[in-house]
Structure 1
Amino acid sequence: MEPCDVCSHPGRNYRKSLSITTLAAMSDRADAGCVPCSVLKGAIRGYYEGMGHTDAIADIDLGLDFNASKEKDRSIGLRILSVTESVPWEPGSSKKRTGHQIKRFEPALRLELFSAKATPWLSRTLPDLPLGHELPVSTCSEKSLAWTVQQIQVCVDSHVACRPSSEPCLPRRVLDLDADCKSGVRLHESSAQRGRYVCLSHCWGKRPFLQTLSSTLNSHLDNIDFESLPLTFQEAIDITRRLGIRFLWIDSLCIIQDHMDDWRAEAAKMASIFQNCYLVVSAAKGSNARDGLYSNFPSRCKTYTAKVSDKQAEDGSTAEETISIRQTLTHLTRAVGAYEEGQQIPLPVVTRGWIFQERILAPRVLHCGPEELSWECREATCCQCIPFPKPSWAHFSKRDFVHEPPPRTAIPNPPSQPRHGLALAQSASHSADFEKSWYRVVEEYTQLHLTHEKDIFPALAGLANVVQSRTNWTYLAGLWREILPRALLWHARTTNAGSSTKRWPNRPRSWRAPTWSWASVDYPVGFDTLNSMEDACEVLEAKCIPAGPDPTGELAPDGTYLVLRGTAIPAVIRLAGRKGDPHKVPTAYEIAELDILRGYMKTFWVDDEWKFILPFSSGFDSQRAVLCLLVARHPVTLTLMFLVVAPVREPWLLQVGQFVAARNSVPYRRVGVVEVAGGPAGLPRNAWQSKLLDLGEERLVRLV
C-alpha cells in the first residue's frame, strides 16, 4: 500500500518518517478514506477539546514523527508548529468579517500519542502507536512507591547480573537514618559492618549547602539537624526510610570535604561504593541540592483522550477505540551530542561528569524526574509511563511502549550475561571489547560538565578501576598502556559554525593532564578514526605520577611524560584561508594547515584555540615549526595517521617540560592529529606514501 501523501503512513520499509502537514489537509484525507489521518485528526481534536480551544481553531501546522514500528523503538510524535485561530467580529468594529491570528511555537509544542491497551485493529492501523500509562499525581505518591518496590522486587528476584555475590560492607561513613539522636539522623562510621545502603546521586549546584568538614565531623557523628539539610537530602532520607533501608550514602556528608587525604582516599573507593549499594536514588530533575527529588505531575502534561472508530464489531455495530494524547514527557536521555541536533535537552543529572560513572557502576538506579520515575538496572530500563509487566502478544512488536531509556554505555560482559552491556562481569573474552568500550566511555564523558576541572580523572576513576581489575592493564592519564600508541589518536570534536557550542577546542585553566591525553583539552573528543588501524611507531617509555594514593586519580605534573620512536617529518603549521585584515582574530573557518600536505587528501584536527598554536602577534604570516610523527596506518586503504607535535614554549608547560629537558631531551607537546587519505593528483596509489614518508627520519620524541 502506498503511503498517504499527508500523514506518510505507513512508512516505506518501516523506516522513521517525518511529515509536515496541516490539520485541514489531514481532515480532507480522512474524508477521502485515510484511516490513520482520521485517527490522528481525532486525537488532535481531543487534545484541544480537553483544553477548551476547539471552537476557535481554524487550522494547525504540524509535524508527524513516526518511528520504525518493526524495529527497535516505536512511537508517534506530533510537533505543533503553529495554530491559526479565528478572531470573531466584534460589534462596533469597522471590520465586518471574521479574522485569524496565528500562534507560533518556538520550539515546537511536542505531543505524544499512545493507547492504554493493545488491540489487533490499532496494531494494523497504526503499527507505530505505542502502549502507555497515565501517571500518578506525584513521584512521592503511594502509587509511585509501589511502582518502585515492584521494580526492585523483579530485579532482586530475576536479574542475575544485578545480584551481589554476598552482602556488601558499608562504606567507611554512612548516614544512619534510625539513629538514637534528636533528629534520628547522624553520621555513622562503620568498621567492616555489612548491610544494605542507598546512594544519592545529585547535582551540587553553585549555592552552598551543609557538608561534613573537619570542624563539623564530630558534631555530625552525634546528630545532624534535619532542617539544616537541603531539600534533596531530606527527600532522599524520606524515600530510603519508606523503602525500609537504614543507611544512606551522600558524598558531601560522608567524605570530609576540606581534608584532601580523606577526599582522595574515599574517591578511590567510588567504584566499590556504587557497585555494592542496594540502590542509587538519582535527583534527575535537580540542578542543585535544593531542587529536591519529588515532583507533582504538571497540568501541562495532562492526558486527553479521543474516541476513534472505523471498524465494525461482530454484531455489525461500529466499535470505538480510545487514543490518548499529551505533551511529551521529559524522558531520560544521554547528554547533548550523543543524539542528533534538535533532540530533547536531557535532565540535569545526565549532564554532570561525576554522575556518569555513578549511573554505570550501580546495580540499580531510580531516577526522580520532573513528571515520572525512571528505572535502570544492569538488565532492564523502564519508566512509569510504560505498561508493566510488558505484554507478550505474538502479533505485536517486541517493544510496544511509549519510551524506553537508552542503554547505558557498555562495559563488555561475557556470553553468559549478554542481555545488558553493563553486566560488569568478572571477565571478558576479548581485550578489543574493552578497548572499544573505553573509547565510547571517554567520548560520552567528555561531553559532560565538571564543577572543578581537576576532577577530570577522579570522576572517572571508578570505571577505570573496574576495567583495570578485568584486564590488568596499566592506566596512563585516561588511556591504557596496552592500547598505545593508536589510542593517542583521539581528536577534538569541533562543531559547525552555526552551533551555539564553542567552535575552537580549549585548554583547562590549569594543568591537569599531559598534552597527549584527551584530558588535556576541555572539549568533547572522538576516537572514530581508529577502526582497523595498525600501530606504526613504538612506545619506549610511559610515566604518570599520581598526586595521591589512587593511580587512576589526579596527576602530578612532574615526571608525567611519554617517549615515542617513529618516523617524524618536519613541517610548518599556519592558519589557512585567512582573508582581508591580517590582524583580525581567526575564525573556525580559518583552520590550520601543514606545508608538507598541500595537495594531499587530509583532515587536520587541532587541539587548541588559535592563540595557543601560533604567535598571532606576528601577523598574517605567523607560523610554527612542528613534527608529524607517524603513529598508525590502515593496511587496506593506506590511510596514514600522524601526531602533530611542537617543541614546548608555552608558559603553562614550561615547568613540566623542565623535567624532560633535564634529561638532555627536547620536550614536545601535542598540537593535533592529521589523517592523510590520499596523495596529490597524478601520483599512483602506492607512491604517495613513499613520497611523503621519505621526507622524514626516525626520531625519539618525548611528549609532556
Structure 2
Amino acid sequence: MTAQAEVQAEVPIGMSWWPRQQTIDLMMPASESEFAKLCEVCSRLDIRHMSRPHHPCCKPLPCSTPPIQRRYEVGITLGSVGDIKSRRLDCDLCQLIAKCLDKEPSDVSGTCRMTQSREFCTFKLPRNVEVQDPSITHHHLTQSVVIFDTSTADQFQGPSLPWELKERDTQRTHYILWLQAKARSYVELGDPTANTPQTEQESLATIGGRYIPAQVNPYLLRAWLHQCESKHGKGCRPSFPLSLERTRVPTFVIDVIQSCLVYTPSQCRYVALSYVWGTAAVYKHLRENTQDLRKAGSLLSLPIPATIRDAMTLVHAIGERYLWVDSLCIIQNDLEMLQAEITRMGSIYSKALFTIIAASGNSADSGLPGVERGSRAQVQKALKFADCELLPVIDMTPGGIDDTPWARRAWTFQERILSNKVLVFSESQVYWACRAAVHSEERALEGIRVIERLHLSFPQKYAIDCLSWKPLQPSKYRLLYDDLLSSYRQRRLTYQTDMLNAFNGVSEILVALQDDKFFWGLPGSLFSYAMTWHFTGHSARNHVHVPVTGSRGLKEMVPIPSWSWAAWSGEDLNHPPFLHGGRSSWVRPVIDFYLVDTEHQLVSIKEWPWQDHPGNDIHASWREQGPHQLPSLTHQSLSQIGCLFFWTSLVNARAARRWRVQGLRRVGGVEYILSPPSDFRSPSHYHSEIIQQDFIVVAAGGARTLILLAIEWKDGVAYRVGTTDVDEATWVRMEDRQWRLIPLG
C-alpha cells in the first residue's frame, strides 16, 4: 500500500481487521505507482485519446450510434504474437498482452491489434448535476480492446492441448484484453456533499475504472446498500402479496455480534447466504447441539465452514447484525421443522435485506474471496501515465459466473431468483445487483442516474424481471412458469429426493402471486398445460420416494407420481435433458382432474378458464357418454397419495416408438407416432420399434389437436411413459376407443 494507506489506523470489526478509510477508492500499490514504460510500437498509440472514458451524445435514448467517429477503424497493429512476447520485458503493455496470450491457444504467427474504444454502456448524469451543455442527453462509456487474430494458416500449430483445440475455434478473433480509464476522483456515497450541485466535468471525473484491492472494502459495500435503500424507492423492494407478508419469519438467525444462534427477533433485518455445500464437512444444527449453539460465542470455537465464517465477518463489517444460513438456522434432523422451513424458502430469501452469493469455489469451505487477507489473488496491473491510468478489466464476461459450481446447483436456483438484492462474490471481485442498479468493485458507476445496455449479466435475469410481484395474465404466467422450470431442471442435484424441495420456494411465490395451488410441482391453474411437459433428451423414471406428513401428523414415504416432471431424471445428472413446461402454447383443459391428497381424500383441481384461440372450435367428438361418478377410495392401490383420477378416452393402438441415438448412446427423448404405415422407416440416427401402446387424452391443443399420454399399467394403476399429439379426426377414426376412469399414479 502507499504511505498514506500504511498510516491509516486499523480497527477490529467483527472477526477480522479492516482498514479504516475516508474514501472508497484504494490507491495502487507503491510498486505499481511508477509511470508505464512502452516499446516503440506501443508508444505510437494515442493513449490520451484512448483513455477518454466517456463521450457526450446529443441523440435521444436508446441510441445505437457509435459514441465517436473512430480514428482507427480496425485498430493499430501491435505485431505478431512472437513480436509481442519478445518485447514483454521492456514494455508494460506488451507484458499485459503476453500474459493474456499465454492463456490462449495461439500460434506465433497470429497478430494483435488494439481498437481505440468499444462501447460499454450509455448513461445519464444525476439530476442535481449542473450540465454545461443542455443539448447533451447522455454519455457513452467506452473501453479500449486488444484483439488477437489467429493465423490464416489451415493447420493450427500453437501451444495447446488436444482437448483445448476441440473446445475452441482457433481460426477466429479473440478479445483478449480490455482496458478502461481509472476514475480521476471518487466521492464516498454517504458523503452529504454528494447531494450538492456539481458541474458536469466534476461529476464525470468520478466515473470510470476502479482498482480492485487485495481485500474487499466494506465501506464500498455499505455504500451500495445505502444508495439502494435511500434512492431506489419501492420499486427496488416490491410489495409482497398479503399472504407472504403474513408468512412467519425464519425460526433462527445468527447473531454475528454474539456469535451464536438466536430466535429471530420481530421486525428483523437479516442477510441471507447462498452457497454450495459440496464435499466439505458442514457443521449442522441438530437436536443434540441446539442448546450449545444458542450460547454466546459458541460459533467462534466450532468448525464452521469458511464461507459461513466469512459471511459472518462481512455482515458485521458492513454494520448489520443478523445472518440466515440454512445449515445452522434449520435443525437438520427435525423433519417437521425441516419441511416447514423448506416450504418458506420463498419468503426467507425474498424478505432478506440482501443475499450474499458465494459464486466462487466448489464447497462450503471455499470462503468468500477478499474477506480474509490473502484469499484473493491480486492480478490487476495498472498502466500509469502522466495524465491518466489504464486498468485491465478483470471480468470481461461477468455472466461467466453462470459456469461456476454455485450456478449449476439446483438449490441455489431459487435462492437467486427470490432474492431482490444480491452481493455476488466471484473469484476476482464483488458485484451488487438489485432491481434498479448493478455495481462492481472495478467500475465506479454509482453516480450514474440511468444506465442502458450495461453488460453485467447475472443468472436467470429474464425470470427475475418477470417476477414483478404482481399477478400475471395466464399467457405471461405460463411463460414465466416455463422459464423457471426449464432453467431449474438444467441444474444438478446431489439427492433426487430434493427435486421438489429445491423448487418449493419458487412455487411458494407463484402461489402467493397468482392465488394458485401447486400439485407435485405443477400449478393447478395451468394443470392441463403443465401435464403435457416433455424432455428434449433422454430421461427415465427415477422412482424417488419422498416423506409426506398429513394433517393428523402421520408420516408416509410416497413415490413421486409419474405424471410429475419431478419423477423423471436424465442418466447423466451433470448434463440433464432440457425440460419443456408444456407441449404446446395452445393447450387448453378438456378433462376434470381429481387428486388424492395427504388425507387420502379426492380433491378437485380447479383450472383457470381458457381464453379463446383457434382450437376452441373442437366439437369434442372424441368424447363418449359414460358414468362420471368417482368411486370411494377403499382399496389401498387406489388410495395412493398423489394418484390422479379422471374420465377420458383411451385407445390401445399400434405405434412407432423411436429415439435419437449417437453411436450406442441414447441422446434424444422418446417419440410416439400413432398408426405408422407398414413400411415405416426412421432416419439412420434414430432407433425405432413398433409396439402396441395405450394412449389417453389429457388436453386439447390448437387446430383440432388432442394431446395424449402414453401409459402402462401395473396392479390396475396407469403410469405415464411419454406424450404425443394427434389430430382429433384421426383419433375419432381409431377402433375400440373406450370412455374410461383412469387412476394415474
TM-score, normalised with respect to structure 2: 0.62
Could you list the per-position Cα deviations for residues 161-201 of structure 1 after superposition, in whole angstroms to 9, with x for gaps in the alignment?
3348799985211112222xxxxx111124x5332111111
Give the C-alpha shift of residue 214 in structure 1: 1.3
Would the aligned equivalents of 1:573 and 1:624 in 2 still touch at CA under 8 Å? yes
> Is 2:685 the counterpart of 1:632?
no
Would the aligned equivalents of 1:111 and 1:325 in 2 still touch at CA under 8 Å? no
Q: Which amino acid aligns with 1:625?
A: Q
> Is 2:415 the counterpart of 1:368?
no
% identical aligned pairs: 19
Counterparts of 2:143 and 2:643 in 1: how far apart (Å)?
51
Give the C-alpha shift of residue 279 in structure 1: 1.8
> Which of 182, 206, 214 is matched with 2:287 structurally?
214
Rate the CA distance shift 1:587–1:628 in 2: closer, same or farther, 3 A: same
> Is 2:344 the counterpart of 1:269?
yes
Could you list the per-position Cα deviations for residues 510-537 of structure 1 after superposition, in whole angstroms to 9, with x for gaps in the alignment?
2452111111112444337655414263
| Equivalent residue number for residue 434 of structure 2 | 377
Would the aligned equivalents of 2:516 and 2:525 in 1 still touch at CA under 8 Å? yes
Would the aligned equivalents of 1:330 and 1:371 in 2 still touch at CA under 8 Å? no
| Equivalent residue number for residue 260 of structure 1 | 335
> Which of 629, 637, 643 is matched with 2:708 structurally?
643
Give the C-alpha shift of residue 445 in structure 1: 0.7
Could you list the per-position Cα deviations for residues 544-583 of structure 1 after superposition, in whole angstroms to 9, with x for gaps in the alignment?
4399xxxxxxxx993212234444342245554899xxxx
Would the aligned equivalents of 1:162 and 1:423 in 2 still touch at CA under 8 Å? no
Counterparts of 1:55 and 1:491 in 2: how far apart (Å)?
44
Rate the CA distance shift 1:693–1:68 in 2: closer, same or farther, 3 A: farther
2:476 aligns to what SS in structure 1?
helix
| Equivalent residue number for residue 247 of structure 1 | 322
Counterparts of 2:101 and 2:721 in 1: how far apart (Å)?
64
| Equivalent residue number for residue 744 of structure 2 | 703
> Which of 582, 588, 592 is matched with 1:539 structurally?
592
Rate the CA distance shift 1:473–1:64 in 2: closer, same or farther, 3 A: farther
Rate the CA distance shift 1:353–1:299 in 2: closer, same or farther, 3 A: closer
Counterparts of 2:101 and 2:542 in 1: how far apart (Å)?
57
> Is 2:376 the counterpart of 1:331?
no
Counterparts of 1:63 and 1:528 in 2: how far apart (Å)?
47
Give the C-alpha shift of residue 443 in structure 1: 0.8
> Is 2:248 the counterpart of 1:175?
no
Would the aligned equivalents of 1:644 and 1:673 in 2 still touch at CA under 8 Å? yes
| Equivalent residue number for residue 729 of structure 2 | 690
Q: Which amino acid aligns with 2:744?
A: L
Counterparts of 2:268 and 2:223 in 1: how far apart (Å)?
21
1:670 aligns to what SS in structure 2?
strand
Give the C-alpha shift of residue 293 in structure 1: 0.8
> Which of 720, 727, 737 is matched with 1:670 structurally?
720
Q: Which amino acid aligns with 2:430?
A: L
> Which of 205, 209, 212 is matched with 1:133 structurally?
209
> Which of 484, 497, 500 is matched with 1:441 structurally?
484
Rate the CA distance shift 1:197–1:391 in 2: closer, same or farther, 3 A: closer
Counterparts of 2:699 and 2:418 in 1: how far apart (Å)?
33
Counterparts of 2:679 and 2:462 in 1: how far apart (Å)?
37
Q: How many residues align?
A: 544
Q: Which amino acid aligns with 2:422?
A: V
1:236 aligns to what SS in structure 2?
helix
Would the aligned equivalents of 1:168 and 1:195 in 2 still touch at CA under 8 Å? no
Counterparts of 2:515 and 2:677 in 1: how far apart (Å)?
44
Counterparts of 1:71 and 1:598 in 2: how far apart (Å)?
60
Q: Which amino acid aligns with 1:377?
A: C
- Equivalent positions of 1:444-523 (< 5 A) are 444-494=487-537, 504-508=538-542, 510-511=544-545, 512-522=559-569, 523=576
> Is 2:251 the counterpart of 1:201?
no
Counterparts of 1:54 and 1:233 in 2: how far apart (Å)?
34
Give the C-alpha shift of residue 629 in structure 1: 2.6
More deviation, 167-176/363-372: 167-176
| Equivalent residue number for residue 189 of structure 2 | none
Counterparts of 1:568 and 1:75 in 2: how far apart (Å)?
64
| Equivalent residue number for residue 653 of structure 2 | 571
More deviation, 42-51/268-277: 42-51
| Equivalent residue number for residue 300 of structure 2 | 226
Counterparts of 2:669 and 2:367 in 1: how far apart (Å)?
46
Counterparts of 1:269 and 1:54 in 2: how far apart (Å)?
46
Counterparts of 1:421 and 1:199 in 2: how far apart (Å)?
22
Q: Which amino acid aligns with 2:702?
A: H
Would the aligned equivalents of 1:199 and 1:248 in 2 still touch at CA under 8 Å? yes
Rate the CA distance shift 1:49–1:531 in 2: closer, same or farther, 3 A: same
| Equivalent residue number for residue 7 of structure 2 | none
Would the aligned equivalents of 1:628 and 1:644 in 2 still touch at CA under 8 Å? yes
Rate the CA distance shift 1:528–1:276 in 2: closer, same or farther, 3 A: closer
Counterparts of 2:508 and 2:304 in 1: how far apart (Å)?
32
1:156 aligns to what SS in structure 2?
helix
- Equivalent positions of 1:262-411 (< 5 A) are 262-295=337-370, 302-303=380-381, 325=392, 328-329=395-396, 331-332=398-399, 335=402, 346-389=403-446, 391=448, 399=452, 401-405=454-458, 408-410=461-463
Rate the CA distance shift 1:323–1:292 in 2: closer, same or farther, 3 A: closer
Q: Which amino acid aligns with 1:703?
A: L
| Equivalent residue number for residue 186 of structure 1 | 260
Give the C-alpha shift of residue 233 in structure 1: 1.4
Rate the CA distance shift 1:586–1:456 in 2: closer, same or farther, 3 A: closer
Rate the CA distance shift 1:247–1:587 in 2: closer, same or farther, 3 A: closer
Q: Which runs of 5+ in 2 are unaligned?
A: 1-62, 65-69, 85-91, 124-140, 169-173, 184-206, 240-244, 546-558, 570-575, 601-637
> Which of 159, 162, 183 is matched with 1:103 structurally?
159
Rate the CA distance shift 1:430–1:152 in 2: closer, same or farther, 3 A: same
Give the C-alpha shift of residue 299 in structure 1: 6.3
